[in-house]
Amino acid sequence: VLSRDRACPLDEVGGFLALRSPAAAALTRSLRARQVWTDARGEVLRLGPAPYLSDGQLRDAMGVLGEVVRRLSST
């Protein structure tokens, strides 16, 4: 359901993590319903962790992303 372009090393991607998915818009809607703020541009789900977020908040957001992806994959 999700993929990342591995041609660009993670230390060179800047402030956003961009994940490709044909369901990027649906993922964004589901994540926002769970208070995880992302955006989608075409087939790209963009996550932009802000410096004021705690490590715990980022871990929680990734957990929610996993739940949403699993639910989407099972339908």
Q: Please provide the distance, in angstroms rounded to a whole number, between the alpha carbons at the two ends of the chain.
A: 12
For every one of its 75 residues, what pLDDT tens digit does the chain have, with 9 covering 90 and above? 788 888 877 777 778 888 999 999 999 999 999 999 999 999 999 998 888 999 999 999 999 999 999 998 887
> CA torsion angle for 11, 37, 44, 47 (degrees, to 10)?
0
**CA atoms of 58 and 62, how far apart (whole Å):** 6
Domain ranges of the chain: 10-73
Indicate yes or no: pTM above 0.85.
Answer: no
Using the 8-state DSSP alphabet, how is residue 52 labeled? T
Q: Which CATH class is domain 10-73?
A: alpha beta
Per DSSP bridges, beta strands 44-47 and 17-20 are antiparallel
